[in-house]
Amino acid sequence: MGRVSTVDALVTSIRQRVLSGDFGPGSKLQEVPLAQSYGVGRYSLRGALRVLTDEGLLRYEQNRGVFVPSLARDDVADLFKFRAALEIEAARLAIRAGASLADAEKMVEQLEAMTGDESWAETIAVDLGFHREVVRAGGSSRLLRAYVAMSSELQLILARSRQHYEDPKRIGREHREILNALASGDLMVAEKALRYHLEVAVAELLTLFD
């Protein structure tokens, strides 16, 4: 590890390994062997684990250590309830303010240009990027911070449903419909489009627990 930002580099690497499944659900991250494998001190490693725990990507259990969460059906349903409430309120604010949707448009265009050969990580980044820009358009810094804080846990859940990301053009079409609804300025139409999109997504994820 370089000296520029050891903790940041660790955070990036460990996050990638968690989301890729290298550290699977329920895995314990052993401090000593993990620090040795990266060639860093335990202090730096603990700093990185703390950041990822704060993000919701890892979970600390007293007297047991740090683990990759084993998310249950109720966790998924609850997170999507929170996500829907947050995104729909942001969409309402964006419409009422007549906010620019240019950045959300760019994300849709990226999805529409994808061929399907991209990694799931690339697709998911643009997918969530679209939703982040919709929230940003709402003009509330607190709503945006809440969305960003939720994103790591959301990625952990979405990583279990990679087949959903095999067709980025389908996601692009769904996002285009949401964007058109937002651009129409009709609150009811926009809320219906966004709620439907999120309900379909959570329904697909919940089948993993059947």
Q: How do residues 116-160 score in pLDDT, each as one tens digit?
A: 888 887 888 899 999 999 999 999 999 999 999 898 888 888 877
Alpha carbon separation from 168 to 25, 87, 109, 111 (Å, rounded): 26, 21, 11, 6
Q: What is the CATH number of domain 6-67?
A: 1.10.10.10
Query: How much is the pLDDT for 119?
Result: 81
Give the pTM. 0.83
pLDDT under 70: residue ranges of the chain: 1-4, 162-164
The two tokens of residue 161 are: 């449903």
Every domain of the chain with CATH number 1.20.120.530 lies at 73-209
May I ask the CATH class of domain 73-209? mainly alpha
Which residue intervals of the chain bear CATH 1.10.10.10?
6-67
**How many degrees, rounded to 5, is the angle at CA 76 between CA 30 and CA 178?**
125
